[in-house]
Each structure stands twice: as structure tokens, then as C-alpha cells.
């Protein structure tokens, strides 16, 4: 487990990173990458969408172009303060401070679930993905963006020491263990040689599907 896959350490880390987060973030996860992922989420007007690990609200800004029913959650008070400055503490976005592994929402509360740049800090990502499945309505979309595992052995060791990095095989395992049956992976990158993101788009199983119909696994990669 990486040093930042610990909630208390991650909170301290973001206490300082929040000061420069919006300036640093575009070099790793920029608007073009975000907007491409938003197309895959395919939220409709009026959909209730949960943004987990919302940080300073970079993804929230994009989500608001699709629907005005956005709920945003983060464990870092410092990141949330930055988000409040953009959207207001009691504005259109409903903010909550909380834990991705123990979401403070009822079952089937949301039409879609979004999380970008957060899974790498989750001590138990499978538990958090189960929570994503729990709070999203059957047939709804769960989209998670995380850091793709480096190719270099040296960078792999460095990555493992810091936080969660994972490849498509590991993503398959995590999403399947969390109860997802249909999902696909996309590799995103700002420019050649820059860090890559692995974006998984999953569908919450629909219990109303025809009885006896075999579940279909969609595990494709788009580089």
C-alpha cells in the first residue's frame, strides 16, 4: 500500500496541495481529457450525478454543463474550501465531506456516479466501488478515472510506494469483485510522454433484466 493510501496522510497532503492544485492539475488531467470522459458518462439533463473526490471542483464544472443536479463529496476540508469559492457553500452544488468507502447516501440515489483523481488514495478500492454500485440506480453509469500503471520498472516501484496505480487487468479484477458485469477501459493522455489515465466506464447491473439472460462482460480498451 502506498504512503498516500491512508486517509489521514492524504488529508495532510491535500492541505498543502490544495493551494496549487488548480495550477498543477492541467498538466496531468486537462479539460480535453475531462470533456472526453464526460461524453462517455453521457449524463442527461435532470440526472442526479454524484462527484466523489470532487476536490476543487474541476470535474464538477464540466458536469454542470450536463445537469444542474450535482452532488459532490470529498474528504479534504481544504479542497472543499476551494470548491466553495467557485460554487458557493450553499449554491447549486450540494457538497458533502465524506469517505468514498462509506458514502452517506441511500441505495439507488443517483443516476450516475463520477470519480476522477480519487481512487488512487482509497485504501480499499473494491469497497469504494461497491459503494458506487450501491448508490447508483440499476442501469446507471459509474465512471472512475485513475492513474495507469507505468511501463518502466523503476517508475512502477516509485508509483507503488506512493499510491495506487493499476493497469487494465487490475481494473478488471476490482470492478468484477465490486459486482460490475459490464465495463470498458479507456487510456487517456495529455501528450506523448506525459502520465496516462485509465478511465473505466461501468454499468450498474439492472435487476429487471430478463431472467435467465446471461450477464455480458464488456472489457475493451481504447488507447
Widest distance between CA atoms in the chain: 53
Per cent of the chain over pLDDT 70 is: 74
- Res 29: pLDDT: 81
Has residue 1 got a pLDDT over 60?
no
Asked if residue 68 belongs to a domain, the reply is: yes
Has residue 157 got a pLDDT over 90?
no
Asked if residue 1 belongs to a domain, the reply is: no
- Res 94: pLDDT: 97
Asked if residue 86 belongs to a domain, the reply is: yes
- Res 19: pLDDT: 52
Instruction: Name the domain count of the chain.
Output: 1
Q: Cβ atoms within 10 A of the Cβ of 95, count?
A: 22
Residues 115-142: tens digit of each pLDDT: 998 998 898 999 999 999 999 999 999 9
Q: Cβ atoms within 10 A of the Cβ of 151, count?
A: 9
C-alpha cell recorded at residue 9? 496522510
Residues 158-195: tens digit of each pLDDT: 545 556 789 999 999 999 999 999 999 999 999 998 88
Residue 222 burial class via C-beta count within 10 angstroms: exposed 0-12, middle 13-18, buried 19 and up: exposed
Asked if residue 154 belongs to a domain, the reply is: yes
Q: State the chain's mean pLDDT as an integer.
A: 83
Residues 31-63: tens digit of each pLDDT: 999 999 999 999 999 999 999 999 999 999 999
Question: 95: domain range?
Answer: 7-222
Has residue 78 got a pLDDT over 80?
yes
CA distance 74 to 194: 26
Has residue 101 got a pLDDT over 80?
yes
Task: Return the sign of the alpha-carbon dihedral for residues 124, 130, 134, 135.
Answer: positive
CA distance 200 to 118: 13
- Res 155: pLDDT: 46
- Res 212: pLDDT: 43
Half-sphere exposure of 122 (CA within 13 A, CB side): 29
Asked if residue 20 belongs to a domain, the reply is: yes
Asked if residue 2 belongs to a domain, the reply is: no
Give me the CATH number covering residue 128: 3.40.50.150
Asked if residue 30 belongs to a domain, the reply is: yes
DSSP assignment of 107-174, as one string?
Answer: TT-EEEEEEES-GGG-SSHHHHHHHHHHHEEEEEEEEEEEEBPPSSHHHHHHHHHHS--B-HHHHHHH
Lowest mean pLDDT among 74-78, 127-131, 200-204: 74-78
- Res 90: pLDDT: 84
Amino acid at each position: 500500500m502506498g504512503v498516500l493510501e491512508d486517509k489521514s496522510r492524504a488529508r495532510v497532503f491535500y492541505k498543502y496541495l490544495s493551494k496549487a492544485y488548480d495550477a498543477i492539475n492541467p498538466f496531468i488531467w486537462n479539460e480535453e481529457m475531462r470533456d472526453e470522459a464526460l461524453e462517455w458518462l453521457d449524463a442527461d439533463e435532470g440526472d442526479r450525478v454524484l462527484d466523489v473526490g470532487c476536490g476543487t471542483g474541476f470535474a464538477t464544472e464540466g458536469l454542470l454543463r450536463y445537469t444542474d443536479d450535482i452532488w459532490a463529496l470529498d474528504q479534504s476540508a481544504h479542497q472543499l474550501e476551494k470548491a466553495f469559492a467557485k460554487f458557493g457553500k450553499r449554491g447549486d452544488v450540494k457538497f458533502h465531506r465524506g469517505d468514498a468507502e462509506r458514502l452517506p447516501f441511500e441505495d439507488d440515489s443517483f443516476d450516475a456516479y463520477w470519480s476522477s483523481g480519487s481512487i488512487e488514495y482509497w485504501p480499499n478500492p473494491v469497497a469504494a466501488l461497491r459503494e458506487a454500485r450501491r448508490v447508483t440506480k440499476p442501469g446507471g453509469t459509474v465512471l472512475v478515472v485513475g492513474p495507469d500503471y507505468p511501463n518502466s520498472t523503476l517508475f512502477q516501484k516509485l508509483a507503488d510506494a506512493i499510491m495506487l496505480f493499476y493497469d487494465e487487468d487490475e481494473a478488471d479484477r476490482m470492478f468484477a469483485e465490486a459486482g460490475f458485469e459490464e465495463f470498458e477501459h479507456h487510456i487517456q493522455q495529455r501528450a506523448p510522454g506525459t502520465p496516462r489515465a485509465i478511465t473505466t466506464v461501468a454499468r450498474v447491473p439492472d435487476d429487471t433484466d430478463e431472467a435467465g439472460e446471461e450477464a455480458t462482460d464488456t472489457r475493451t480498451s481504447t488507447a
